[in-house]
């Protein structure tokens, strides 16, 4: 009788461990399914649910639908809305808030093409004057207007995930306060700049409209 009771306890303990492990694996699988394809923690592709996938990559007014595959990419920037729309073959794949050029530095409208992509890029015009040890001596400078303090060096503003579409005008990651605030470039939130950068190629059409 004692042996039977001991065996039942062992079986119950094993069952609890198995259930707990299954729940943990399920939680991990849900946590990593951001809609970027097959989930490595599951044995098969997740069930098709575009709304769930869209919600998984939603952040404020930004979203990305990874179920929109194939087709020629096209980025449309609507200045009056301060938004960028990414299309694939005419189908909307994602939307992101942007910050375009502020008064005096307005972003030009028209139809352009991405001519260059660079993962890590720094501005050659705007940035900070820093000491040799890296301390900021003067911030938000324009090298064409602001004199460099003695002994200082210029450090260009970070423009990660840069995509050049019209001369000095680029799309890149940066601060997006909800209104035009750049020197003419199109800023995207960091996570959306990364997605746009990954899905666009040199030659991708960029339309900028009011």
CA 132, CA 137: separation in Å to the nearest integer? 10
Sheet containing strand 169-173, edge to edge, reads: 116-118, 162-166, 169-173, 186-188
172 part of the active site: yes
185 part of the active site: yes
Which of 128, 146, 185, 191 does the annotation list as catalytic?
185
CA 206, CA 74: separation in Å to the nearest integer? 6
CA 35, CA 89: separation in Å to the nearest integer? 19
How far from 22 is each of 13, 28, 33, CA to CA, in Å? 14, 10, 17
* Burial of 47 per CB tally in 10 Å (0-12, 13-18, 19+): exposed
Which of 121, 172, 175, 183 does the annotation list as catalytic?
172
Query: Do residues 183 and 141 lie in contact, with contact meaning Cβ atoms separated by under 8 Å?
Result: no
CA 200, CA 204: separation in Å to the nearest integer? 6
CA 204, CA 113: separation in Å to the nearest integer? 5
Query: What amino acid positions are annotated as catalytic residues?
Result: 172, 185
């Amino acid at each position: 009788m004692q042996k039977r009771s001991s065996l039942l306890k062992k079986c119950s303990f094993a069952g609890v461990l198995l259930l707990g492990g299954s729940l943990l694996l399920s939680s991990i699988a849900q946590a990593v399914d951001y809609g970027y394809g097959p989930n490595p923690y599951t044995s098969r592709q997740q069930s098709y649910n575009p709304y769930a996938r869209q919600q998984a990559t939603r952040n404020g007014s930004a979203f990305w639908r990874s179920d929109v595959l194939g087709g020629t990419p096209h980025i449309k920037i609507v200045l009056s809305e301060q938004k960028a729309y990414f299309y694939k073959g005419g189908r909307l794949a994602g939307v992101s808030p942007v910050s375009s050029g502020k008064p005096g530095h307005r972003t030009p409208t028209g139809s352009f093409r991405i001519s260059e992509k660079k993962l890590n890029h720094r501005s050659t015009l705007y940035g900070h004057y820093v000491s040799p040890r890296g301390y900021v001596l003067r911030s938000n400078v324009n090298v064409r207007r602001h004199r460099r303090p003695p002994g200082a060096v210029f450090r260009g503003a970070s423009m990660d995930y840069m995509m050049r579409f019209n001369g000095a005008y680029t799309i890149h990651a940066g601060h997006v306060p909800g209104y035009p605030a750049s020197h003419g470039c199109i800023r995207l939130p960091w996570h959306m700049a990364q997605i746009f950068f990954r899905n666009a190629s040199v030659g991708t059409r960029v339309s900028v409209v009011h």
